Structure 1
Amino acid sequence: MTGASRGIGRAIAERLAADGALVAVHYAHSVEAAGEVVASVRAAGGDAFPLRTELGIAGDVQALYSAFDSALARRGIEPRLDVLVNNAAVSGSARIHEVTAELLDRIFSVNVKALVLLTREGLTRMPEGGRIVNISSAITRMAYPESVVYSMSKGALNTLTLALAKELGPRGITVNAIAPGFTETDMNAKLRTTPEGTARLAGLSVFDRIGRPSDIADAVAFLASPDSRWVTGQLLDVSGGMHL
């Protein structure tokens, strides 16, 4: 579970652990936040362990899986990955005239390059019947010029989801993506600093509220479960009917 120390990632980690998974809680920076997730999981009767790796830099994939394999070995478990949830991502608001090469490199190195390489390596540990769930975004089905590079990176993720679903079908591995809308996370906190801003975001959903991380986690739990065995290559919109 990449990017699992806060927001949507934390909610997914806690939900999968509640469903019986041993969860690797990946994080990039905050030891404290990751520790809180692990403690929360264990307090609820589940099991989890932290993995610290900064993505988008040289050696990131090797470092993550080295730590992952070592953590499993300490539990007497052979390297195995039944469910991979690709959630880690960085954002950056920029219209086309504000885009820089540095912004392109930063967003694509984490949201696309690292994700592809993490998945490629993870597949060497994934048995038949495994699950891959990619966290995309509802902005891939609408124009969002305020964050053009981020939108592009999530569009690439959707394309990858389709390709991998066909590639991995013979192994019984399903590959799907989740497309959240505006959700109560740090990523969009600046848009919720006033009652007016919060109301505007809530009004984009047919339910007149902002999404909760648990809303996304519940959908991921289905796609990570045996119940989703006949669902693959899909982009599941979990935006509360945003912009219907």
Structure 2
Amino acid sequence: MQSSKQTMQIILFSLIFSSSLALFLLPFCQANVTAAPRGRVLSNCGIQAIFNFGDSYSDTGNALVESHGGGYMGKFPYGMSIHQATGRFSDGYLIIDHIARRKHVESSLFLLTGASANDYLSINVNSSLQRMKDMVPDVIAAVKTYIKQLIINHGGTKVVVVGAFQIGCGVRFDFHGGTKFHCNNSSFNSLATLHNQLLKEELRRLRDEFPGTRIVYGDMWDAFQWIMDHFSGRSVRA
């Protein structure tokens, strides 16, 4: 029987889940990604399960379980498009659901944790920028602990750790002037930059510590920047 280290392929997402999954898989699969038949990218990479650690962008129901079924995400309008409220912070399924279903990993297990931008934003009301920046090493240390537990305790051989996006930018809905991206908080963006810098440094150390594990940094900053740069003229449903 194969060991769990040989069979388990773990993808870790910290902060936020990205729809650009194939891009992050390139270091694992190399030419297999482009050569794979439609809908079989993950299976061609030898990945049978996705273990997703993220926040509300990718929560497939953990918040509802933690609230013992009493959370607002378990009621309409959440889930209206699929005619049931599943605990997802959406009117239907999430990107992670569609990727798992289309990529032939229907039996995937989704696990989530609190390593998210909320770690910083939750203290913003009564805190200075410097205090939030002082938190960054602790957040990175927590992410490092999660990764080591996955590798040592669960046999993870492939890990993707997604960095922070421009948390100082967001969408503004204007019924008269259209929908636009606005980046009006450079302080938050500098916080995300610091987070990404320290995260990359920690990942380099982890690669040296675990040479048999593929540890990849998922560049959410550039992915989000591409969306903002190409946003003009695209329809968005509020």
TM-score, normalization by structure 1? 0.32
Greater fraction of residues in helix: 1
Larger RCO of the pair (alpha carbons < 8 Å, separation 6+): 2
TM-score, normalization by structure 2? 0.33
Higher Cα Rg, which structure: 2
